[in-house]
Chains A and B, each alone.
Chain A
């Protein structure tokens, strides 16, 4: 049973436009959410996070939105750049040291 779902395996966006990556979760105990970015043959790097007490967190071009009632979060990248092309993983935690990861969305930003 997948507790964290990224339903879009891939997304293609033009440079300069907005990229929106989505993530749904089922476990209402999750209270902390993270996004990681992964280039091929490298480890994931932490991008941005949000606590369940907030509904929005911004860091430069990256904004994460959390809708607790819908159990949905999204990552917005504005403006998108070719260097943003990578696999993005959504992760969640609640009540333990472990993270539960989604299967990832491959973002391609076309010049």
Chain B
């Protein structure tokens, strides 16, 4: 079974803090993704990475950065948290481009920024 884990299920931070969200997958997947999910907006892609140290912006990268130093680990960084970044953050992984692109998700991190 594919296992994607995220460092925290719930997180509360203050405006202006630097926030790190970590994601680890154990299936040797090449691709890793960060999404946020908000009511009525579905899943929106923040960043994705197709290899170690490689990254591409998704649809809503503003206010976020990412780091992928090892194949199994993908970190999302909020440089200076703001209240509009309160959301559910979801990490996913998938094999390299194979024509199927099935992504496997972690349990999510519910982030509240006060």
User: A residues within 8 Å of B by Cβ?
Assistant: 9, 31-32, 34, 36, 41-46, 49, 51, 89, 93, 96-99, 101-104
Are the CB atoms of B110 and A97 closer together than 8 Å?
A: no
11 additional A-B pairs beyond A32-B101, A97-B48, A98-B101, beta carbons within 8 Å, are A41-B110, A42-B107, A43-B91, A44-B43, A44-B90, A46-B102, A49-B100, A89-B43, A98-B33, A101-B42, A103-B41
Q: Bound complex: CA of A93 vs CA of B31, how far in Å?
A: 14
Interface centre among B42, B50, B99, B104 (most CB of A within 10 A): B42
In chain B, positions 5-59 with a C-beta closer than 8 Å to chain A are: 9, 31, 33, 40-43, 45, 48, 50, 58
Q: Using A101-B42, A103-B41 as known contacts, say yes or no to A32 and B100 having CB atoms under 8 A apart.
A: yes
Q: What chain A residues lie within 8 Å of B96 (beta carbons)?
A: 97
How many pairs of residues, A versus B, come closer than 8 Å at their CB atoms? Answer: 58
What's the dominant secondary structure at chain A's contact region?
loop
Q: Bound complex: CA of A2 vs CA of B105, how far in Å?
A: 22
Write the B74-104 contact mask toward A (1 if CB under 8 angstroms, else 0).
0000000000000010111010110111111
Q: What chain B residues lie within 8 Å of A97 (beta carbons)?
A: 31, 48, 50, 94, 96-97, 101
User: B residues within 8 Å of A by Cβ?
Assistant: 4, 9, 31, 33, 40-43, 45, 48, 50, 58, 88, 90-92, 94, 96-97, 99-108, 110
Q: Bound complex: CA of A25 vs CA of B53, how far in Å?
A: 33
Q: Using A32-B100, A49-B102 as known contacts, say yes or no to A41 and B43 having CB atoms under 8 A apart.
A: no
Q: What chain A residues lie within 8 Å of B110 (beta carbons)?
A: 41
Q: What chain B residues lie within 8 Å of A41 (beta carbons)?
A: 9, 88, 108, 110
Q: Bound complex: CA of A103 vs CA of B33, how far in Å?
A: 18
